[in-house]
Homo-oligomer: A and B are copies of this chain.
């Protein structure tokens, strides 16, 4: 696999971010962006120790300057590298509350974390992905992590749904604008609880084995999306445990 391409993941904490970094690191140097070093440093160390190449950069994905600065750092750290895959996996805080108890700030946390964060990331990465079209080992790819709330506005999830619906809308528009130019934009609806330390105490699907989503299985599906031939791009997939109600 060419050493001249790299992948970047924003929202590189435990779970999907970490697993995606590990998966893509088999093929590319990977850059992990997260607000706090604690989120990415173990993963970075693990990849580098295993003979791969990983860089972590503390970045606020909702802040234009912070993202600009991260990409300046990338240019220095990975000189001459072109972008093969960009993964937007940033999480926004979420208040599960009755609508009348929410504040405009709760709404804006979701809109900013999902829509604005992705907007900034997409504007930064799409020009780089377009440059990679002629010689990328696989069609340059922009992947978006969505959720159940991307397609369903449930009671008590209003602000989360607002942000996730907006994120999905952006992904659709970009797929239609940049697909014909050779960039693959895909959106994944993660419909279930991911099996990470933070969720270890959650009992879901009656405690069934594999009733939470294994983050590695998400990462494998992301890799499969990235490696699709341009004559058969997927725009949207759902991913859920076999026992999940839907």
Contact = CB atoms under 8 A, between A and B. Distances in A.
Nearest to A168: B165
Interface residues of A, number: 80
A115 interface: yes
A213 B232 contact: yes
A177 to B, nearest CB: 4
A167 B180 CA distance: 29
Contact of A165 (B169, B182, B243): B169
Contacts of A149: 169
A168 B163 CA distance: 11
Contact of A171 (B98, B120, B153): B153
Contact of A239 (B98, B162, B192, B233): B233
Interface of A: 64, 98-100, 102, 104, 107-108, 111, 115-116, 119-120, 122-123, 126-127, 139, 149, 152-158, 161-180, 182, 184, 192, 195, 210-214, 216-218, 220-221, 224, 227-244, 246
